Amino acid sequence: MYPDSVRTWIGNGRLVLPDRICEGGSVLIEGGRIAAINEPAPQDTAIMDASGGYILPGFIDLHVHGGGGADFMDCDVEAIHTAARAHCQHGTTALCPTTMTCPDEMLERMIRCYLEAAKTPTGGAQLLGLHLEGPFFSTKNKGAQPVGEQRIPTREFLERILRLGEGHILRWDEAPELPNTDVFAQVMREHSVMASIAHTGAIADQANAAFDMGFSHITHFYSATTTGQKINGIVYSGVNEATLLRDEITIELICDGRHIPKEHMLLAYRIKGPDKIALITDAMRAAGTNVTHSILGAKEGGVPVVVKDDVAQLPDFSSYAGSVGTMDRALRVAHVQYGIPLVDVSRMLSLTPARLSRCADRKGSLEAGKDADIVVMDDLFRVRSVYVCGELMHQA
């Protein structure tokens, strides 16, 4: 936890609550938590004038690989902290470091590194827990994931990795058409880990079977998931259609303005609504930098990518390779470009991901008693200041 901060009053702003925007709103921070909202500043309180800008709950990124030149697969404590600090500058106050398909020994090394990194403050976004993306994927929709390390889940492997994670693994992804999906789902249930569909070639029947087994989420919906397809002369619905028809299934959307067209985003928003959608970055190490060439995954042995048109891509441009987006950019894309109401965008950036990462009792909205994770933005939705548990972590 971050140390208790001095009492601070942030006011003269447009306070974004889960159901409304309060003009001339304010937040009082005391002891690292929100003490009150929309109350006059007490005496002997540090004053932060929002100058008519927006006061929002801190953004929570459920799917992020790196940023600021660092990747979580670098298996280095400082790299983890560097990425957390880089994203904090863009309003992210908490995140789930995401792995990618890799050799077993690298995955184990990364988990041990995360456990060490989580012992001390990052100086930026807090670490909520791990998201394991791979290695149980379909080669049909591998994206930028390396094919050579993809495999079938076994109980022995799953339990060994989950034991190593010491309760810090929040989510694990799998393609449900693989053998042993029932084993995967059962082990995830036993360990209270979210099972999510990702990088899949499944048809709707396979997706629905997985949902019935306990899968509850779709990783980067629309990206490396299936829609209607013809197989042996017969047309089948895909994962996307099955997901949109199952009200209980949650989704995440890469909101960089490149991975998902406006119409796709608005369709998902209309059907699912803000309480079933988390906006994510899926950012890789080039996020928050100006480089044009980078590496997805570990510096040693990772996948070379080029950054073109504000997105990371494989050098042959056959696939995107993660994004270079940040959560403030996600807000601008969803609200300014796509026209989704700010209150709903805020919920998709903060409250819904807080629920999905099991921390909504203390994060995700501006309510008395919750952690003082706060982003102050100007009229153009540029980040002015970021508070994590009441501490000023970034000021533009």
In tens, the pLDDT along 197-224 reads 999 999 999 999 999 999 999 999 999 9
pLDDT for 242: 98
pLDDT at 144: 67
pLDDT at site 299: 87
What are the start-end ranges of the H helices in the chain? 77-88, 104-117, 155-165, 181-190, 204-213, 239-245, 262-272, 327-331, 342-346, 352-356
Those residues whose C-beta lies under 8 Å from the C-beta of residue 157, and which sit 6 or more positions away, are 104
Residue type, 361: D
Residue 3 has pLDDT above 70, yes or no: no
pLDDT at 28: 98
> For residue 150, what pLDDT band results from cuts at 50, 70 and 90?
confident
- Tally the C-alpha atoms within 13 A of residue 221's C-alpha that lie toward its C-beta: 28
pLDDT tens string 363-394: 999 999 999 999 999 999 999 999 999 999 99
User: Residue 169: its pLDDT value, please?
Assistant: 98
Distance CA 360, CA 212 (A): 25
**Alpha carbons 353 and 334: distance in angstroms, whole number:** 16
Q: Which residue has the tokens 């996948």?
A: 303
Query: What's the pLDDT at 1?
Result: 42
* pLDDT at site 210: 98
Contact 192, 224 (CB under 8 A): no
What pLDDT score was predicted for residue 301?
A: 82
Percentage of the chain surpassing pLDDT 70?
97
Q: Rounded to whole angstroms, how far apart are CA atoms 197 and 140?
A: 14
pLDDT value, residue 149: 65
Please give the residue that has the higher pLDDT: either 316 or 114: 114
Write down the pLDDT at residue 212: 98
Q: Contact at 8 Å (CB) between 15 and 22?
A: yes
CA nearest neighbour of 240 among 212, 269, 209, 202: 202
Give per-residue pLDDT as tens, 53-87. Answer: 999 999 999 999 999 999 999 999 999 999 999 99
Average pLDDT, integer, range 12-22: 97
Residue with more model confidence, 43 or 1: 43
For 260, the token pair is: 């998902």
- Does position 179 have pLDDT exceeding 80, yes or no? yes
Q: SS in 3 state form for 241-303?
A: HHHHHCCCCEEEEECCCCCCCHHHHHHHHHHHCHHHEEEECCECCCCCCCCCEEEECCCCCCE
Q: What tokens were used for 250?
A: 């949650």
pLDDT > 60? residue 4: no
The answer on pLDDT for 129 being more than 50 is: yes
pLDDT at position 2 over 50: no
Per-residue pLDDT of 31-61, as tens digits, reads 999 999 999 999 989 999 999 999 999 999 9
Nearest-angstrom CA–CA distance, 165 and 154: 17
| pLDDT higher than 70, residue 15 | yes
pLDDT confidence of residue 148: 64
Measured between alpha carbons, how far is 216 from 279 in angstroms, rounded to an integer?
Answer: 16
pLDDT in tens, 220-260: 999 999 999 999 999 999 999 999 999 999 999 999 999 99
Q: Which whole number is the average pLDDT over 107-125?
A: 97
